[in-house]
Amino acid sequence: MKKSQKSKVKSQKYNLKLKIICFCFIVFPFSFFLFPFCYAQTAVSSTELIERAKELNGQEVLYEGELIGEVMTRGEYSWLNLNDGQNAIGIWAGNNFLNLISFAGDYNHKGDWLQVKGVFSRACQVHGSDLDIHAQSINLIRRGRAVRHKLVPLKPRQAIILSGVFLCLLIGRLLSRKLKKK
Amino acid sequence: MVLKPNLEDLKAIGYYLGKIIIGLGLTMLIPLVWAFIFAEFNPLYDFLIGFLICLILGNALILTCKTDKDLNWVGGMVVVSSSWLAAAVLGAIPFYLSGHWVSFLDCVFDSMSGFATTGLVLVQDLDHIARSVNLWRHLIMFIGGQGVVVVALSFLVRGSAGAFRMYVGEARDEKVLPNVVETARFIWLVSIVYLILGTFALAVVGRYEGMSWANAFFHGACVFMAAFDTGGFAPQSQNILYYHSLAYEVITIVIMILGSLNFKLHYTLWLRRKKEIVTNIETRTFFMTIMLTFFLTAVGLAKLGVYPDALGMFRKGFYHLISGHTGTGYQTIYARQFINEWGALALFSLTIAMALGGCVCSTTGGIKMLRIGVVFKALYNDIKRVMLPEAGVFIEKYHHIKDVVMEGNQVRSAVLIFLCYLGLYALGGVIGMFFGYPALDSLFESTSAAANVGLTCGITQVAMPALLKVVYILQMWIGRLEFMSVFVLIGFFAAFVRGK
C-alpha cells in the first residue's frame, strides 16, 4: 500500500514537473510573440533624438515635454515645440489635438506637459530638413498653470540704498561744479 | 624709452570711461520701462539696480577724474578696450539678478557674447525668461553691433580728437562722414531705419506663420537686432529652428547680409550709387568666398547624403554658411548635429567661412573681406609683376568706394591682422584640445568665439571648464576690437610698471 502510494506521489510530482516544463516551453515563446504588443514604450529624450538621429530616423517614437512659446497654426496642422528640459523639439501635429492644450510655457506660464507618439525625422523631407516629429497621437500628462512671481524683498532694499549713494554722488558733482565756478 | 603715463592721462581715461558707463546705464532704461509696462517687477528691480550701479560708477569716475585734457591715441585705445570689459561686467548684472544663469562668470560670458555680437550662450531655461531680460539680451547686441563707444559718441561725447581716437579704437577705421560724431549718428540712422523695416517684415511673416501679433512683433524686433548686428541670440532656446519657417529664414539671410556690409557701402547705396556693389573689392571678395565655401560645404554634405533634397541643402547648408560667414551664428539645426552629421569637409569649410567674416566697418567679426581682398590682390599683383617685363611701370589699384592705389603698408597691416586672427583661432583651439575636446570641434568653437560668430558644435555649455569660458570671453573681446586697442591696453599697463 505504502509502495503504491509512494509511486503515485512520485508520478504526480513527475506530472507536475512535466506540466511546468511544457508550460514554460509554450508560454515563453508566446510571451516573446506578445512582447511588442504588451510592451509599454518608454519616452526618448531630446538628447537621444539628436545623438541617435540616424538610427531613429523614420521610426515611431514616444517623446514628452513642456509646450513652450506658442502654438503656430499652419492650415490644418500646427507646430508645437516641446522642451523636455534638455532641448526643445518641433512637433508637427493635426489641429484636432489642439483642444488638449491650455497653457504654453513662457515667463508667466508653466506650459502643458504633453506626450507625443509619432514618426521621427532626422531631416524631414516635408519641412526643409528640420529635425522633427510628425505626431500620430498626443496625450496630456500634466496641465500647465499660470505662474505668479513674488517680488524678492531684498531687491527694493538694494535699490533704495543704491539710490541714496547715487544722490550723494550727484550732490557731490553739483557742489564741485559750483566750487569750480567760484 | 617708454614713457610712464602721468596722472592727467589716467584722469582723461577715467573721465571718458565714466561717460561711457553712464551711457551704458542709460540704455538699461529701455528694458526697465518694458518691465514696468508688462508688470515684470523682479526684472524691473534688476534693471534698476544695474542702472544705479552704472550711474554711481560712472559719476564717481567723472567726479574723481574731471580734467580738460583730451585723450591721446593710447588713452583712446585704453578707454575703448576697458569700456568693453566694463560693459560686459556691468551688462551682466541684470542677468545675474534674474536667476537664469548659474554663475556670474556665465553672465559675463553671455554679456560679452552679446556686446561682441557673438551669440554663444550659457543661459538656462531661456524659454521661461522674462521678456524684459530677453529684450536686454538682444539690445546689448544692437548696442555692441554699432559699438559701445559709438553709442557714447552719438549722445554723450563732443566731437573732439579724442572722440575720433576712441572711434578708431573700436575697430572702425573708416569714417562715413567727415565728422566722427556725424558718422556715429549716421550708423544709428541706418540701423534704426533697417530696424523698423526689418521688424515689420519679420512681424508680418511671424503672424502669417501662426504667431500672435504681440509675439510676432517682439520676436521680429529681437531677431532683427541680433541678425542685423550679426549677433545670433534668439528669443527661444531652439534659435531660428523655433519658427520652422522658410520665409523667416530667407528674411534673416537678407538681414544678415545687410548687417555684414560696410556702413560706408550703405551710405553710397543711400546716395543711389548702386554700381558700387559690383565694383567694390569687399563685395566681390565676399561673393567669391561665399561661393567657394558654399561649394565645399555642399560637396561635403552631398557626399554624406546629409540632406535629401535641394531645399534641405539651402535651408541647412546655405543658411548656416551665410550665418557663419556673416558672423551671425543663427542655427536651424542642433549643435551636436554639426558633429554627428555634417562630416569633416562641410565643418571645415564652415569654419573657414566663420574665420573670414564680413566687411570692415560693419557689425561682423573675423578677418574681414577688405583684408582678404587686399592680401590676395597683392599676391596676384606680385605674380603679375614677375611675369611682366622688368622695365614695365606697374600701378596696383583696387576699388573701395573710390579707386585706391595699393601701398605696402596697407598690405602689411592686412597681413598682420590676418596672422593675428589665425593665431587667436589656433590658440583657442589648442586650449580646447588641452581640455580634451577633439581637434576639429575645438577649432570650430574657438573660431566661432574669436570671429564673433556664435555657431556652436556643443562645446559651449554650462558644464564646460571655467578656464575655457574665460578664454572664450577674452577671444570674443579681442576679436571684436581687432587686437590693436587690446594690445595698447597691455602696453599701457607695461608702461605703467616699466616706463620712466
If one counts the domains in chain B, the total is 1
Model confidence at B157: pLDDT above 80: no
For A:1-40, CB contacts with B below 8 A are none
Percentages (nearest 5) of helix, strand, coil residues in chain B:
70, 0, 30
**For residue A135, which residues of chain B lie inside 8 Å, CB to CB?**
none
Query: Percent of chain B having pLDDT more than 90?
Result: 69
Chains A & B: contacts with CB separation below 8 Å: 138
> Domain limits at B37?
1-173+482-500
A144–chain B Cβ distance below 8 A for any pair: no
Cβ-defined contact of A170 to B53 (cutoff 8 Å): no
Displacement of CA B268 from its chain's centroid (Å):
23
- Distance separating alpha carbons of residues A96 and A99, to the nearest angstrom: 7
pLDDT, tens only, B455-484: 999 999 999 999 999 999 999 999 999 888
Cβ-defined contact of A70 to B46 (cutoff 8 Å): no
- Chain A nearest CA to B368, separation (Å): 31
Residue B112 within any structural domain of the chain = yes
Residue B178 within any structural domain of the chain = no
Residue B309 within any structural domain of the chain = no
Phi first, then psi, for residue B397 (nearest 5°) are -135, 155
Cβ-defined contact of A72 to B244 (cutoff 8 Å): yes
A171–chain B Cβ distance below 8 A for any pair: no
User: Which stretch of A20-29, B106-115, B223-232 has the lowest confidence by average pLDDT?
Assistant: A20-29
Residue B409 within any structural domain of the chain = no
Residue B101 within any structural domain of the chain = yes
Residue B249 within any structural domain of the chain = no
pLDDT, tens only, A72-127: 999 999 999 999 999 999 999 999 999 999 999 999 999 999 999 999 999 999 99
**Residue whose C-alpha cell reads 548656416 in the numeric block:** B320
**For residue A173, which residues of chain B lie inside 8 Å, CB to CB?**
59, 62-63
- Chain A nearest CA to B172, separation (Å): 33
Residue B258 within any structural domain of the chain = no
**For residue B55, which residues of chain A lie inside 8 Å, CB to CB?**
166, 169
Question: pTM surpassing 0.80?
Answer: yes
**For residue B53, which residues of chain A lie inside 8 Å, CB to CB?**
162
Residue B301 within any structural domain of the chain = no
Closest residue in chain B to residue A166, using alpha carbons only? B56
- Distance separating alpha carbons of residues B449 and B464, to the nearest angstrom: 14
- Distance separating alpha carbons of residues B27 and B115, to the nearest angstrom: 13
- The grid cell for B7 is 596722472
pLDDT of residue B8: 86
- DSSP calls for B382-438: HHHHHHS-TT-----EEEESEEEE--HHHHHHHHHHHHHHHHHHHHHHHHHHHTT--
